[in-house]
Amino acid sequence: MPMNKPHLEFHPVDMSTGWHTPAGYPVGIKQKILASDLDETKKTGSRSRLLRFDPGVYTTAPFVHDHWEEVYLMSGDLIVGNDANGKGGTPFQAPTYACRPPGVHHGPFRSDTGCLLFEMHYYDESRSPDEATAHARLGDT
């Protein structure tokens, strides 16, 4: 897969600035993009990001992507599979890891104490965009 992310040597990461709530996420969940050339229209590229949940924040519906996703819970707790009111689900503590192919429904998510996730998102560029979209719809890898 061709990579067009910037070349970044080791450098300090300012954890106090550069955080934004991603589209479709509730207030209290913020991302900080570390490096990205992800193009969700052309279905190419990859993205590395930090995702931070404030304590008590939860999502209300499952997520599904047309790209691969790897998630590493670096600190805190993450509850997976809560209901629309933030109740229930399976709790996980750091360190925890997930790797999901395109089309896999996951979540909703909640964090009681807050958490920090490192995520990588990327497209399988060996497939055409139409083929990748069709596989994501089917939940197929």
Question: pLDDT, tens digit, for every residue of 18-50?
Answer: 999 999 999 999 999 999 999 999 999 999 999
- Segments forming the whole domain that contains residue 53: 29-133
CATH of the domain at 70: 2.60.120.10
Q: Identify the pLDDT of residue 130.
A: 63
Q: Is residue 6 part of a domain?
A: no
Q: Is residue 122 part of a domain?
A: yes
Q: Identify the pLDDT of residue 4.
A: 83
Exposure string for 84-97, b = 16+ CB within 10 A, e = fewer: eebeebeebeeebe
User: What is the spatial distance between Cα 74 and Cα 54, in angstroms, rounded to a whole number?
Assistant: 14
Task: Report the chain's mean pLDDT, rounded to a whole number.
Answer: 92
**Residue 6 burial by CB count (10 A; 0-12/13-18/19+): exposed, middle or buried?**
exposed
Q: Given a cut of 70, is residue 118 above it in pLDDT?
A: yes
Q: Is residue 95 part of a domain?
A: yes
Q: Given a cut of 60, is residue 135 above it in pLDDT?
A: no
**Total domain count for the chain?**
1
